[in-house]
Structure 1
Amino acid sequence: ANVFAIESFMDELAHASNQDPVEFRRRHMTDPRSLAVLNAVVERSTWWHQPREEGVGHGVAWARYKNTSAWCAVLAQVQAGETLRVLQLDVAVDVGRVVDLDGVINQTEGGALQGMSWTLKEAVHFDRQQVTTQSWVDYPTLRFSEVPALTIHVLDQPDQPSLGAGESVQGPVAAALGNALFDALGVRVRQLPLSQDHILQALNETS
């Protein structure tokens, strides 16, 4: 939640000052490894610099997990309307010395999809007395048909200690999706999940 809030606000500041969101972040970064993951994901992406079609938005976010573990930067491409469809996710991650490359990629892919599910779908409902969500039937999660094209870029740092990779990506994924939604529709959804109801509410409030 902290990363979603911080990186959403960074995006708002960039737009309010008429600055590119990537360049805005670069100007305010002093940590070289933070800058490295951001540069890597932007430079290696095959779609980030392509012209956008109508209704398609791009979003960026980054974070260092709990300020002690892996660095991660995410680019998101979405098709937005009353609902949000994720087309592409590019992720760059720095976990220090890479011991098992496949393991790092797998952890990052899994974390990205979990972050997508949290951001787009998952919510526990309750009334004044109790939780009303009872099972997986009424607790929505991401489906295989909703999985986007996913590209992971791992930055190996052989001279640095190995760091945990398991949960570095979820926060930046959430923020990148919210920022991409804003890029596509021009409205900021501040409440998760980025569901149809919340998107329509934001659109109605700005109309």
Structure 2
Amino acid sequence: MIETIVFDVGETITRDDRYWASWANWLDVPRHTLSALVGAVVAQGHDNAEALRLVRPGIDVATEYRAREAAGLGEDLDESDLYDDVRPALSALRERGLRVIIAGNQTARAGELLRGLHLPVDLIATSGEWGVAKPRPEFFERVQGVAQAGPSETLYVGDHPANDIFPAKAAGLRVAHIRRGPWGHLWADDDRVAATADWRVDSLTQLVSLITE
């Protein structure tokens, strides 16, 4: 029986549209150009930050991130960035007595912004706060440390096979793959994902039904 559900952030809880639009504005390139490049690098199995390096070869992403913050154009999250099913699904899970956690590869600032949305969860944590990122095993050790449930009673939900599905399963967790965003759609019917994931869903509402039944 699942006792704790842990959710990835980008393209699981939040949409990445405004995130990439803000980078396009900062780098002075058309939004559709950067969006297309993100899709291209994803299809090749690369980290999405490679799209920024295609736009500006040699870019130091960390330095640019700090420059954006200094200019008052840094990270931003609000209610419009959440998928429509997020609040209802999280609330339904907690009402059924499950422990609900959000933990993904985000900055410490993103963690602050997520907590500012007052989501119905027990804990929000990011790789920036933990000092370790997916897909490293240590990230999922941290997940198990806050889950307050055994690995087989803990479910990790994400869209990215290499960052979410495969390493979470290797750590002994149950896993659910969600068909959202470029990664979720690209690998939705992949045989390895199908063989690894305990559940494959198109929405968090669907996940709630499956888990609680």
TM, length-normalised to structure 1: 0.29
Quick check: which one's strand share is greater?
Answer: 1
Bigger proportion of residues as helix: 2
Q: Which has the higher contact order (CA 8 A, sep 6+)?
A: 1
